[in-house]
Amino acid sequence: MIMHSIRRLIKKKFKINYIFRQWEWILIILIIIVNAINAQISPYYLNAEGLLDATMVFLDKGFAVLAMAFVIILGDIDISVASIMALSSVVMAVAYSAGVSMVASILAGLLTGTLCGFFNGILISRFKELSSIIVTLSTMSIYRGIAYVILGDKSVGNFPSWFSYFAWGYIGKTHIPFILVVFIFCAIAFGILLHRTTFGRKVYATGNNFEASLYSGVPVEKIKMIVFTLMGLMSAVSAIFLTSRLGSSRPNIALGYELEIIAIVVLGGVSTRGGVWQNSWGKPFAFPDGFYKIWNGIKKYSRSSYDDYYWFAFDYSFNYPQHIEQNDKKEKRDK
């Protein structure tokens, strides 16, 4: 995809206007700008080991991003993702504190997230009059509420020392974070699933035209149930890495993560109208997002500064491409 974009750019004789028409080039520019600013702020920023270590701080949400891409390609949305993470984390922590082995507790957390996603899928696929945003808005409160009922305002920690390896460990004697390697493998697997399998083509077809897919024999209800169940599972995976990073679990874990996860997917090129991913290598938007957080931390800016960054990027990604599309249609009509 990148080489194809470069060839197209060469054919266009390097027109600046053309660059700003292509979201993949905007993504590259964002990565360059964010890293250039960070390099100016701190002389230690461009250190290779430092950059690798930085991924440990923000890649926990990346696993949920992979599944959220499938959800949005379907033309749906899941805003209960952060609450699923909280409930999965709490169940895992409470199980361990009750004397269950850590491995079994992790499996309990994964099962919890999977069941939450399956419940979302059942509601959305069976009750078609309810939109996914209404369903997941309700379950967002339910799952977070259950987490508070289980743990109250307490926190649970004292996990085995090996559990911290998930978030803070390195591969062998290298300086490559374990979480980065796992994320890369998952990203490749999800990419293959989406672009090289019949299931992935059915996901695209369902998001592009639900009615046509239904009458063409595509099991749209089954597809939605599988995708939302997968969303729950990957939310639980994110919860495990997040809990490993924090060293404890509490009901208010992952607050606000739903905005960041959805933003990464949309700004990575997935259309909220469904059925479209402008550039399949848009997954790296998790990295400018994370590096911007580092810059925000270095400068000690407020949370509102981080939100302003998101709203600016959202406005650009939604409105500018639509403006370009309208101009292109007008030019074609004039011709």
pLDDT at 294 over 50: no
pLDDT at 308 over 60: no
pLDDT at 73 over 80: yes
**In the 8-state DSSP scheme, what is residue 255?**
T
pLDDT at 320 over 90: no
Work out the average pLDDT over 166-177: 92
- According to the model, what pLDDT value does residue 108 have? 97
Residues 78/139, Cβ–Cβ less than 8 Å: no
Amino acid at 3: M
- According to the model, what pLDDT value does residue 309 have? 55
Work out the average pLDDT over 1-11: 51
Q: Select, from the ranges 27-31, 115-119, 204-208, 309-313, the one with the highest average predicted confidence (pLDDT).
A: 115-119
- According to the model, what pLDDT value does residue 35 have? 73
Q: How many CB atoms lie within 10 A of CB 75?
A: 19
pLDDT at 183 over 90: yes
Average pLDDT for the chain: 81
* CA atoms of 43 and 35, how far apart (whole Å): 12
Q: Cα-flanking dihedrals φ and ψ of residue 125, to 5°?
A: -80, -30
Report residue 284's pLDDT band, with 50, 70 and 90 as the boundaries. very low
**HSE (side-chain half, CA atoms, 13 Å) at 298:** 18
* Residue 60 structure tokens: 């926990």
The three-state secondary structure class of 43 is coil
Top-confidence residue, 272 or 208: 208
Poorest-pLDDT segment among 16-20, 166-170, 209-213, 286-290: 286-290
* Residue 68 structure tokens: 């959220």
- According to the model, what pLDDT value does residue 24 have? 63
H/E stretch holding 51 reads helix 48-58
pLDDT at 271 over 80: no
pTM assigned to the model:
0.82
Q: Select, from the ranges 77-86, 275-284, 306-315, the one with the highest average predicted confidence (pLDDT).
A: 77-86
Residues 141/83, Cβ–Cβ less than 8 Å: yes
Top-confidence residue, 18 or 227: 227
pLDDT at 28 over 90: no
pLDDT at 177 over 70: yes
- According to the model, what pLDDT value does residue 301 have? 47
